[in-house]
Chains A and B, each alone.
Chain A
Amino acid sequence: GENVEQHPSTLSVQEGDSAVIKCTYSDSASNYFPWYKQELGKGPQLIIDIRSNVGEKKDQRIAVTLNKTAKHFSLHITETQPEDSAVYFCAASPWGQNFVFGPGTRLSVLP
């Protein structure tokens, strides 16, 4: 089955700097890759996603890149703000079902 790894497990950046979180997946059948942000005591919130037919997607300060050949995808957050502090999870799935999540990255944005 699918296996998703995520790095780093923790990440601290200064406010205004960029943050990059990387994930790898194992199943070449996976074609949908969402990123979720989880704040303390809340459920995961979808922040951006990418499908296997594109290599990059951007939404304001957030971007995701996908390399299907290498089976890895990354989340990029630019101009980080304190409210970006949270745990970020990547996931992979075929056709949007049965998400397999990565272990998460705790991002701290320091003022």
Chain B
Amino acid sequence: EPEVTQTPSHQVTQMGQEVILRCVPISNHLYFYWYRQILGQKVEFLVSFYNNEISEKSEIFDDQFSVERPDGSNFTLKIRSTKLEDSAMYFCASSESTTQGEQYFGPGTRLTVT
């Protein structure tokens, strides 16, 4: 069964450093998303991406964040200058279409900023 994969599973970084989180969405999916989950809290939408551009973004997704689809398979989230409060699980998701609705989530990357 196809699935969304994410690397690394755990990333530790120092405050102020840049991090790139990587995702490989399901191959025939066209819509891609990033969510984050601070420990013990609910999953929060960050950004959606379609046709090589951002479709929608939340207030959390400020200028420190960017997304990219550098090739036909990867989808990345970059945090330019990490802050302590960026520590969270980051989930990538993909869907075949928006009218279908179903989003499939990857296993997540735990980001720890020290």
Please report A residues at the B interface, Cβ cutoff 8 Å: 32, 34, 36, 42-46, 49, 51, 89, 91, 93, 95-104
Contacts and interface: CB of A to CB of B under 8 A. Distances in A.
B42 A96 contact: no
B102 A42 contact: no
A46 B91 contact: no
Contact of A96 (B4, B44, B58, B102): B102
A100 B100 CA distance: 17
Contact of A101 (B42, B48, B106, B108): B42
A44 B91 contact: yes
A45 B102 CA distance: 10
A46 B42 contact: no
B105 A44 contact: yes
A46 B98 contact: no
Q: Which of B45, B97, B99, B107 has the most CB of A within 10 A?
A: B45
B53 to A, nearest CB: 14
Interface residues of B, number: 26
B43 interface: yes
Interface in B36-69: 41-45, 48, 55-56, 58
B98 A104 contact: no
Q: Report, nearest first, the 4 A-B pairs whose CB atoms are least far apart.
A: A96-B101, A43-B105, A32-B101, A101-B43
B45 A89 contact: no
Contact of A45 (B45, B98, B105): B105
A97 B58 CA distance: 12
13 contacts: A43-B107, A43-B108, A46-B103, A49-B101, A89-B42, A95-B98, A95-B99, A96-B99, A97-B98, A98-B58, A101-B42, A101-B45, A102-B42
Given A46-B103, A89-B43, A102-B42, A97 B91 contact: no
B91 A43 contact: yes
